[in-house]
Amino acid sequence: MISRRSLLAAAGLTLLTGCASSTKDPNGPLKFWSSLRGTNTVVDAWNAANPREPVVLETVTSGFAGGNAKLSNAARAGNAPDVVSMADADLPMFALDGVAADLTDLVGAQLRSELGEVAWSGATFGGKVYGVPLDLPPLLMLYREDLLREHGVEVPTTWDEFREAARALKRKDIYLTAFHPNGYNLFAAHVMQAGGRWFGVDGDSWVVNFSDSGSLKAADYWQGLLDEDLLFLAPGSSQEWLAALAEGRVAAHLVSTWGVAALASSVPGGAGKWRIAPVPQWDPARPSIGRDGASLHVITAESVKKDRAMRFIEWMSTSPEAITARLSSGRSSLLPAAPKLWDAAARQFKTTFYGGQDLYGLAAKQYELQHGDWMWGPRMQSTATSIHHGLARIPYGTTIAQALRDAEAETLPDMRSLGLAVRRS
């Protein structure tokens, strides 16, 4: 098992945590930063039931330039919050930098069993637990049922069928789906499903390979669709892409469960026209699913309220009251990492936009198809930026495979500059 000491390497890394923790009031309210939808109603529910352990929420923007940068700066200044929500891809960075506290001894056996092995894999780093999983979101396919029916296109169940459906719709001047040059996390979900693995460990060394068979399988497939002009090429969340969805020029959206509510709020005019299907498979006899954007909560190392913080985040991940409060906002559709909460989530989620379809019944069937052998790198912010720069050059002749190779070439020296032992597999 690779240790935190070996990950930091002999030279060590400069920890970001400041030295002002001792000045914090251990009896004051918990300070909580989150960018997740519906968190305000969750905090309201907690405060109503626990007036002696109040939580103060600050909503932050997601992403590298948003909450991540804000947290790093706050940790340097010694005024980080007690609890932070973050994507699992960001956990290794904050664990290495000493911002996220080691929670291993605070995680009880019941909590560990309620969330499951695959969920904990995204919250564990170097053999230690640094976060508590909130959701485990399988990739799904959201699609315009009316457009596919009008043009006689069946909902694809395999990636071969997906290609044929894309060809059929393109003949009608409709793109089946989009490719997002700024969506490294979505492409990573395709790599996961294809069996690829960008990062691993061997003894005390990191192992990196962005061109393994699974990565190239995914890259070659999506490159083929691009070469045939079968994909709408636009950044995710861009007005260009949202307009194409609203106007029916793009008929499907691949996203994890959290994106189901986000789509409904982004294209409200599509209510009743959209449906949800499992993501296509490479081999239906051996199904697997990738995930995009699993969320967890961490307690910062400088917090002097760790026991209280753990009670709060355990409640958020395992309490029916918490998931009911989150989904009551109508803005969240996350699939809880705790299967016992699925019924409560299903009762709360409004299904009108998707024609009354049971999101949680479908997503629950995909939950077990996710695997826990994916590992994020220690500086995904830098790696993701490299991938995005490469994918942005696709209109000028760069391929997806070349973008991955270039990102790997930049990631290796970046990791070594941190004092980490790293090699290419």
Note the pLDDT tens digit of each residue in 201-254: 999 899 999 999 999 999 999 999 999 999 999 999 999 999 999 999 999 999
Q: Which residues contact 93 (CB under 8 A, 6 or more apart)?
A: 68, 378, 379, 380, 381
Whether residue 371 is predicted with pLDDT greater than 90 in this model: the reply is no
Torsion angles phi and psi, residue 286, rounded to 5: -135, 70
Q: Any idea what DSSP says for residue 229?
A: T
Whether residue 119 is predicted with pLDDT greater than 50 in this model: the reply is yes
> Where residue 15 falls among pLDDT bands split at 50, 70, 90?
very low
CB 333 within 8 A of CB 257: yes
Which segments of 185-338 are extended strands (E)? 199-202, 205-208, 231-233, 252-256, 274-278, 295-299
Identify the three-state secondary structure at position 232: strand
> Where residue 24 falls among pLDDT bands split at 50, 70, 90?
confident
Query: Can you give the length of the chain in residues?
Result: 425
Q: What is the pTM of this model?
A: 0.93
Identify the three-state secondary structure at position 191: helix
CA distances from 387 to 198, 239, 257, 383 (A): 12, 22, 24, 6
**Helices of type H across 50-172:** 69-77, 91-96, 109-115, 117-121, 145-150, 159-170
Q: How far apart are CA 112 and CA 247, in angstroms?
A: 45
Q: What mean pLDDT comes out for the span 249-263?
A: 97
Residue 75, both tokens: 């940790």
**pLDDT for res 66:** 65
Residue 111, both tokens: 């909590």
**pLDDT for res 65:** 62
Q: How far apart are CA 392 and CA 296, in angstroms?
A: 29
Residue 43, both tokens: 């905090």
Percent of the chain past pLDDT 70, that is, above it, reads 94
CB 196 within 8 A of CB 208: no
Which segments of 180-249 are extended strands (E)? 199-202, 205-208, 231-233
**pLDDT for res 11:** 30
Q: Could you count the other beta carbons within 10 Å of the beta carbon of residue 142?
A: 23
Q: How far apart are CA 286 and CA 369, in angstroms?
A: 9
Note the pLDDT tens digit of each residue in 390-410: 999 999 999 999 999 999 999
